[in-house]
Every structure is written in C-alpha cells, then in structure tokens.
Chain A
Amino acid sequence: MNEQETLDQLDECIVNRLGERQMKLERMEEMERNVRTVPFIQKPVVWITTVAAACVLALLVVTPLFQTTTSPLDEVGIGCPQLTEYRAAMPETAEIQRLLDQKQWDDAMNTTEKALRQSDEAVEQLASTISETDAAQQYELDAEREMNGELRWTYIYLLVHAERYAEAQKELSIYLQQPAEHHEKAKALADALKKK
C-alpha cells in the first residue's frame, strides 16, 4: 500500500471517529429535547391512572344496568290493591287502605295478616254452622269469603313486595283453590314466583 493510500485509510478512520463523536452529540441533544418536550398526557403514570379511573367509572355506571331488579308484581302487572269497596264492611280495611296509600308496608302487612286470620276464622265458623236453606246465612258466608279473598290478595301483594316469596306462594295456593276476582293474575304471579 503506498503512502497516499495509507493516508487515505487513516483519514477514513479519523473521519469515522469524528462521525461517531458527532452522532453522540446529536443523540445527546435529542435526549435533552425529550426531557423538555414530553407532554404531561404522554407520561405513563398519567395514562395508567386515567385508564384505571375510566374502568372504575364504567363499572359503576354499567353494573346497575345488568342487575335484575324487576319485581314479580311488575312482571305480571299487578298494582297496589284497593280495598275501598270493603271499607264499610270492616274497620280494619279502612286502616289497611290508609297504610297502603301511605306506603307503610310493614304496618300494612301486620294489619292485613291479622285481619286475614280473623277473616279465615270467620269463614270457617260460618261454613261450619250455615244452614243450606238459610239464604241470609248463605249471603253472609259469600260476603265473608269475598272479603277473605281480597284480604288474602292484599296479603299476597305485600308478601311479594317484601320478597317473602315462599309465604306468598303458600297463600297463592290457598287463594287459587276458590274462584276469585284476581284469578288470572294470581296464576301468572304463581308462575313468576316459581322462577325465583
């Protein structure tokens, strides 16, 4: 290799190392710029916190939508019973109606149950003593049975409202033994309760 070629080769090595040095300097400038220009929003901790918060919020909003809160009463379309027609027959029915109107469910439940048990006794007693030929007695028994049915229907409503489904089903089976005003709805309610 002649002298010129040697010099050329040496120059090439020198230029390469100058280049390496310059690339390092440029890289340092780039890293220095990165320190100053990373926006707040691009910092990993911001991203992680934002995503976590969004997930929690989404869970809080979406979860209630998937929860089943439909009452069997709503499913079947059963409204709050009205006992106004029977107010004159029993003082308790007026009280029960008042409590239902004021949504005092617990008190309504207790009063209704008490009235229902009294009515059950009255029906049993009348049925055992009635004379088949006595139209007045027969009429009284029919009226008592009708009242009993309404009371039982109200009691069933309150039991389902309180989610006491087992007791409600028991009362429904009694209710459905006799022809009743709310027979169709009672049947639908019994089916709905079976699914619970």
Chain B
Amino acid sequence: MIQWIKKRKDYTDIEAVEALQRRDRRMEDWFYHTQKRYFDEKFNQVFFDKDRKQEIFQCAFLKLWTEIDNGRISVRDEKVCRQQNDGVYRPMICTLQTFLMAFAKNEYRELIRSNKEEYVAELFDDDGSAEVTMTFDSAESIEEQKNRIIDACIQQMSPSCVEILTLFYYEGKSLDEILNLRGDKNTSKNGLKSAKSKCMNLLRERVTTEMERYHIAV
C-alpha cells in the first residue's frame, strides 16, 4: 500500500504529446511539474547561473510546449516525431525531457551572449539575418502552416518586442499602461510608440517573407 501511495502516475511521451495537443489541463499540470522536477535535479550539473534558473526553464518549456501545440512535435505511426528542416517528420531519438534540456542549454547560451537589451536599438534581433527554415507536410492545413511560421518568427523576436506587442495588441493596454508596467525599460511614451510600431512592422515583414517563401497566401 505504501508503494502504491508513493508511486506517481507516469505517462509516456506519446500520451503527453497527444494530451497536450488536446489541451488536457491535467496533463499540462503533470507535464509541467515532471519537467520542472527533472530540470531542478539536473540544473546544477549543467548550468551555473542560479538567478536565471526559472527564466531558463520557462523559456525552454514554452518553446517545447509551443512546438507540441503547433504540431511540429507530434505523434506519427505511434512514435513521437519532430519535423526537421527538410520538412520530413523523423522519430525523436531522445525523450521530451532531454529535448527540454537541449532547449534550456540554448536559452542559457543566448542569455550569456546577449547581456540584456535595454535600448530601442537593441529591441530587434541582431541583424535579422537568421532565417526561419521549415517545410510542411502536404497533409497539414494552411492554418497549421501559418501558425507554425508565426510562432517561429515570434520566437526570433527579442523578449522586449514580444512583450510590447502582447501587451498592446493582445491585452489591449494603452501606451501609458504599458509604460507603467515596463517601468525603466522605456524612457518615454514616444519611444514606446516607436518601438511598438517597429516591432510590429518587423514581425509582419518576417511573417510575410516566410509565407511567400513557402507559397502560403497571406
């Protein structure tokens, strides 16, 4: 009985992916906590920046969850597969946990490299030369393809840009409200307004370019 009490229900990666794609809240809870526990156990062996621990985990988990949600990681022929850059779905050779840690390592490297952007000029992702490379399965709907492109482009934007766009366009906050929320990150309302426009234009441009590249109607 003690063994039964102690034992937590474990799900396979296949069950997790399918349930997350169904937006199963219980699975979301289980998946989040399982990954968090694993990350906390391995963190000290891999990373040395304890202040950024939660930030690293959140970015990595969000990335993994987004890929599962938009279908880039999905179950095909009873295997968890990920779409590669050549468009073909191949079975993943590691578990989702290991994949999460790979994302986390990338996040860690990015954080060390970038050293925080506080000025308007640094709101944009380096020189924009990074491309979104993906191809699509012919069976996927246009909607799925568009979503994947937009997610990837958002991923490439700087965190500040994403925050401003989300607050303004998604949450419908005014510039004054955003200025208050962001505190010292923006020096003036005009600066914020300018940043908002530049961020949105850049995002639109990237999304449009990618969609045209893949011959998807905007």
Chain A interface (Cβ < 8 Å from any Cβ of B): 6-7, 9-11, 13-15, 17-22, 24-25, 27-28, 31-32, 34-35, 45, 48-49
Of the stretches B10-18, B84-92, B130-138, B165-173, the one at the interface is: B165-173
Q: Does B19 count as interface, using CB distance less than 8 angstroms?
A: no
> What is the CB-to-nearest-CB distance from B34 to chain A, in angstroms, rounded to a whole number?
11
**Which residues does B use to contact A, with CB under 8 Å?**
5-6, 28-29, 32-33, 36, 58, 61-62, 65-66, 69, 146-147, 150-151, 154, 162, 165-166, 169-171, 200, 203-204, 207-208, 218
A24 touches B66 (CB 8 A): yes
Q: Give which listed residue, A18, A35, A45, A49, contacts B166 with CB less than 8 A.
A: A18
Known: A13-B146, A18-B154. A31 touches B32 (CB 8 A): yes
Contacts beyond the supplied A11-B200, A14-B207, A18-B169: 10 A-B pairs with Cβ under 8 Å:
A7-B204, A10-B207, A14-B169, A18-B170, A20-B66, A24-B62, A24-B69, A34-B29, A35-B36, A48-B5
Which residue of chain B lies nearest to A52 when distances are taken between CB atoms in the complex?
Answer: B1
Q: Are A28 and B32 in contact (CB under 8 A)?
A: yes
- State the CA gap A32–B36 with chains docked (Å): 9
Q: Is the CB of B169 within 8 A of A11?
A: yes
Chain A interface, DSSP helix/strand/loop, else mixed: helix
* Residues of A close to B65: CB separation below 8 A: 24
CB distance from A16 to the nearest CB of B (A): 8
Contact A35 B33 (CB under 8 A): yes
A3 CB, min distance to chain B CBs, angstroms: 10
User: When A24-B62, A48-B5 are in contact, do A17 and B151 touch as well, CB less than 8 Å?
Assistant: yes
Which residues of the other chain, A, contact B58 by a CB distance below 8 angstroms? 25, 28
Contact B147 A31, beta carbon cutoff 8 Å: no
In the assembled complex, which residues on chain B have CB atoms less than 8 Å from the CB atom of A15? Answer: 169-170
- Out of A11, A20, A31, A48, name the residue touching B29 (CB < 8 Å): A31
Is the CB–CB distance between A22 and B171 below 8 Å?
A: yes
